[in-house]
Chain A
């Protein structure tokens, strides 16, 4: 432990981090700080202490294991902008600014669990899994279903997200979002696609209280990719599947419409990538 105080811990290993968290159950686990620090400044949240993961070296970096890209939860988003996955690269490259991306981490993006977070649609479309570590061991859970409500996850007390696993694939992947301006914007809505073996799998951000996907939407997206459906069919399927929020940024109707547009845009890009023309 590099530094320990009643309300603060700076562990160097996952084991030290778990111990520090057990001793400070009310503390906020902070990785890069890019969300927590502004939240404290604006009093959007309070914190009874910090357990920092910044110095836990084992949580940083990526490896290949059994066909999965395994990314330590503390891997900075900046490193993901050159990840061997086009969907992840696109989502990471449009997150914040270069000065934020060096600090923001993939684990923080997941555990913050807000439906507009950049990386989440890509993780959902890719069929990502999460490694959760606790004093009793490591369990692996699907990302699909991990987030239960805005800001809420299935992470148990005393448990840490330690890695995100993305299945490697040779297909097409991409991410796109729309916001209120073209620079440094949070997604009003967002969408990600993974397309392989002629099938399309879509996932959406800010399309509901949690990242969202639907077998019915994917069936229509796959038909559109195959020339067996029209763009309007996919827009209708998306509109029927999503339940977007209504807030000061945009109406639910706008979001429903924009999600359909993004879905068609991504399937069109996948079709072009597959040599099926535009």
Chain B
């Protein structure tokens, strides 16, 4: 009996026809089948957030989720935006990414794409988050290098910069 399923998936604006095992995770499909390496494999069980992507999987509003927890075939026909969709087409950094750089919120880098993805969603929903709200929004992302202080500061800086720019 065939273990494979075929489905379409749009990743960072590019439509793909995917053939994968029915139990394969969205993260495996992104990284190993489509060569999309923005989402990282950290814990692979939904704790660290290194694989966070924004997805519209036809099951409600688009939202950030752990790609490692989603069976890829259940996302058939869905739209996935990774960290590559957050920066500009020629590699320009977003305001959140610039703030991460400016505040020294990046060390080894494995968690960064996930943090930026979660922080970008937070600021889209809440342009002026409190420190507590930032910590709650980033609760599903782990960083073993920075101690989180610089990351929270980066999100505060990004929020402030964006508010000042739109004033």
Contacts and interface: CB of A to CB of B under 8 A. Distances in A.
Nearest to B60: A60
Interface stretch (B45-53, B96-104, B150-158): B45-53
A181 B71 CA distance: 29
Interface residues of B, number: 38
A272 interface: no
Contact of A2 (B22, B47, B68, B76): B76
Contacts of B66: 99-100, 103
B135 to A, nearest CB: 10
Contact of B45 (A30, A38, A103, A183): A38
Interface stretch (A46-54, A169-177, A233-241): A46-54
B70 A102 contact: no
B44 interface: yes
Contact of B74 (A7, A10, A41, A183): A10
B71 A50 contact: yes
A52 B76 CA distance: 11
Contacts of B59: 54-55, 57, 60
Nearest to B25: A37
Interface in A125-178: none
Contacts of A36: 71
Nearest to A99: B140
A54 B49 contact: no
Interface string A38-75: 10111000010110101101001000000000000000
Nearest to A183: B139
A76 B69 CA distance: 14
Interface string A1-31: 0110111101000000000000000000010
* Best-surrounded residue of A5, A33, A50, A60 (most CB of chain B within 10 A): A33
B29 to A, nearest CB: 13
B2 A5 contact: yes
B37 interface: no
A52 B23 CA distance: 11
A74 to B, nearest CB: 8
Contacts of A49: 22
* Best-surrounded residue of A3, A96, A97, A100 (most CB of chain B within 10 A): A97
Contact of A5 (B4, B74, B137): B4
B65 to A, nearest CB: 5
Interface in B1-54: 1-5, 7, 22-23, 25, 44-47, 49, 52
A32 interface: yes
A54 B47 contact: no
A38 B77 CA distance: 24
B1 A97 contact: no
Contacts of A103: 46, 65-66, 69-70
B1 A37 contact: no
7 A-B pairs closest in CB distance? A97-B140, A8-B22, A99-B140, A38-B45, A52-B74, A54-B74, A5-B5
Interface of A: 2-3, 5-8, 10, 30, 32-34, 36-38, 40-42, 47, 49-50, 52, 54-55, 57, 60, 76, 96-100, 102-103, 183-184
30 contacts: A3-B7, A3-B73, A3-B76, A5-B73, A7-B2, A7-B22, A8-B22, A8-B73, A10-B73, A30-B74, A33-B69, A33-B70, A34-B46, A36-B71, A37-B45, A37-B68, A37-B70, A38-B46, A42-B45, A50-B22, A55-B59, A60-B59, A98-B136, A98-B137, A99-B65, A99-B118, A102-B64, A183-B139, A184-B47, A184-B139
